[in-house]
C-alpha cells in the first residue's frame, strides 16, 4: 500500500509520495508565472521546510505554457529549499533550449526540462540522493570516521 499526501487545486494536483513531490497540471491549464507561483506556494504548504525533489508534469494539451513560467521554476526564488526540480513538457524545442542552456551556462540550481516523465523522475531523485549522500559523508568526516 502506497501512502500519498495529496492536495487538489483548480488547475493542478500535488502529490507527495516516498519523498518526491509530483505536480500534475490538469488538461487545458493555462500555465503562466502567476499560476506557477500559486501552485508552488500550495506545494510548500503541504510540508513546510521539506527539501524534497519536485517533478512537474505539464500535459500535452495545456492551453498555454509561458516560457517565463518555466524559467521561473528554475529561478533562485522557486528553488529555495528544493533539492531538485524536473519539468516534463510536451515541446521538444523547449527541451532542446534547456539542454543548450545547461551545456553553456551550467546553472547553480538543479533544474532541468525533459520530455520523458521516467527520465525526469530518475534525474530529480538522483540529484536528491547525491545531496543526501554528500551530507552523510560530510557528517562522517566531522566525526573522524573517514
Question: What residues does each domain of the chain span?
Answer: 5-143
What's the pLDDT tens digit per position in 62-112? 888 888 998 899 889 999 989 999 999 887 777 777 777 766 776 677 998
Please say whether the beta carbons of 112 and 70 come within 8 A.
no
And the C-alpha cell for 144? 573522524
d(CA 43, CA 54): 9
Residue that the C-alpha cell 513531490 belongs to: 21
And the C-alpha cell for 39? 501552485
pLDDT of residue 1: 43
pLDDT greater than 70 at residue 144: no
Which runs of consecutive H residues, i.e. helices, occur in 57-116? 67-73, 76-79, 92-105
Please say whether the beta carbons of 69 and 39 come within 8 A.
no
Half-sphere CA count of 52, side-chain side, radius 13 A: 20
Q: What number does CATH give the domain 5-143?
A: 3.30.750.24
- Exposed/middle/buried for residue 82 (C-beta within 10 Å: 0-12, 13-18, 19+): buried
pLDDT of residue 132: 77
| Residue bearing the bigger pLDDT, 13 or 96 | 13
Amino acid at each position: 500500500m502506497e501512502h500519498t499526501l495529496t492536495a487538489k487545486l483548480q488547475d493542478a494536483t500535488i502529490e507527495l509520495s516516498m519523498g518526491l513531490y509530483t505536480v500534475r497540471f490538469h488538461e487545458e491549464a493555462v500555465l503562466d508565472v502567476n499560476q506557477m507561483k500559486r501552485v508552488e506556494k500550495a506545494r510548500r504548504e503541504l510540508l513546510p521546510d521539506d527539501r524534497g525533489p519536485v517533478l512537474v508534469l505539464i500535459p500535452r494539451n495545456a492551453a498555454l505554457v509561458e516560457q517565463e513560467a518555466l524559467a521561473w521554476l528554475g529561478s533562485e526564488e522557486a528553488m529555495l529549499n528544493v533539492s531538485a526540480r524536473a519539468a516534463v513538457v510536451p515541446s521538444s524545442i523547449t527541451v532542446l533550449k534547456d539542454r543548450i542552456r545547461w551545456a553553456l551556462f551550467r546553472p547553480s540550481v538543479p533544474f532541468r526540462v525533459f520530455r520523458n516523465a521516467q527520465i525526469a523522475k530518475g534525474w530529480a531523485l538522483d540529484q536528491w540522493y547525491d545531496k543526501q549522500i554528500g551530507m552523510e559523508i560530510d557528517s562522517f568526516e566531522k566525526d573522524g570516521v573517514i
